[in-house]
Amino acid sequence: MTLPPPAKSFLEALAAGDRRAYGSLYDRLGDKLLRVAAAMLRSGADAEDAVQELFVNLARNRQRFLAVEDLDAYVFACLRHAIGGKLARAKTEESHLQRMAMQITVASEPALPERDDVAAALNSLPADQREVVTLKIDGGLTFAQIAGVLKVSPNTAASRYRYALAKLREWLGEQS
Amino acid sequence: MNVGFSEADFSEVERRLRERHLPLAPDELRARVLGAAVAELEAERKVRRGSAWPYAAMAACLLLGLGLAQAAAITSLIPHSAGQPEKAFVSAAALRRLSPDLSEDDARQLSLFVSLPRTAVALPLPQSDPSPARGDFDIRSFVRGESK
């Protein structure tokens, strides 16, 4: 469900570094942010780290709140940036390990268990489609907001969503 | 692939997506996330406060320097050498050694003149003073305690 836009004074409080405003922001979006991050990173611990990193970055660049028109879209765009950074670091680390051909066992957290078919189906989607689905379903954003987050047109966002859901329905139909 | 479905065609898929398992936010996550954000805010404020000290110190040094320079300028206006006639006499003796033709008075006047600060201005003696002649300058008239 899409949330009503916050008052301008709320954005000003965030820009001023008001602690209570950051608490309110977490209460407003925290669960949704965590769900989207978990769906994209496939790790609960990494998702928590991404949300924490997001809030630190929001506090660090808090003056930008004054120029924000859509708070939710802005915060999810920042989350996407944090997730992208984590994925890039993980990829670099992985390729580095492969290059070095190190025979080590990395004690990393296992990926989220795919307890149901729909989660497995979602993970089988291309990243750009999975991103639109999770921003829509888990983040509760509109297509216009998703378009702002992904820097694509609303039509493109809607089209990706429909393609993804068609694939999911087909995949789930085959499973049942 | 046909993507021309109405939204109702996806309602079942959307329902299943919403109900799929995803980790719930642990209770301590809120405190951890907000703690990190507040720490960032505090750190930035401390840096901002700390970064003001060098500017304050620089401003204090500038003010001190200006004060000292002003004090030095005022001090240089005071004809301090006039208060040290014995030093002038030493210089007069040195002048006479260099130029024995100089009278004692001329050498003394010259040494006093040389030792005066640049800011001193030669003033004519009052007309009521019969000696030296009108219009002449007597360097001794500038020197404190050297009145005739």
| A86 shares a domain with A4 | yes
Yes or no, beta carbons of A169 and B26 under 8 Å apart: no
| A85 shares a domain with A133 | no
| pLDDT interval class at A15 (50, 70, 90) | very high
The DSSP letter of residue B102 is S
Nearest partner of A139 among A56, A41, A37, judged by Cα: A37
CATH of the domain at A165: 1.10.10.10
Last residue of a domain, one of A111, A140, A161: A111
| A18 shares a domain with A102 | yes
Domain ranges of chain B: 27-77, 80-142
Residue of B nearest to A169 (CA): B13
Yes or no, beta carbons of B34 and A26 under 8 Å apart: yes
pTM over 0.90: no
CB pairs under 8 A between A and B: 102
A155-164: Cβ within 8 A, 24+ apart: A157/A132, A159/B3, A160/A128, A160/A129, A160/A132, A161/A129, A161/A132, A161/A133, A161/A136, A162/B3, A162/B5, A162/B10, A163/A129, A163/B1, A163/B3, A164/A125, A164/A129, A164/A130, A164/A132, A164/A133
Yes or no, beta carbons of A168 and B25 under 8 Å apart: no
**How large is the ipTM?**
0.78
Q: pLDDT tens digits, residue range B72-84?
A: 777 665 555 555 5
C-alpha gyration radius of chain B: 44
Q: pLDDT tens digits, residue range A122-147?
A: 988 998 999 999 999 999 999 999 99
Q: Which residue segment(s) compose the domain that A46 sits in?
A: 1-111
Interface of B with A in 6-45 (CB under 8 A): 9-10, 12-14, 16-18, 20-26, 29-30, 32-34, 36-38, 40-41, 44-45
Q: Between A44-60 and A19-41, two packed helices, what is the crossing angle to 10 degrees?
A: 140
What the block records as the tokens of B87 is 């030093």
| pLDDT interval class at A42 (50, 70, 90) | confident
Q: What is the mean pLDDT of the segment spanning A88-102? A: 72
Tell me the CB-side half-sphere exposure of residue A52, using CA atoms within 13 A: 18
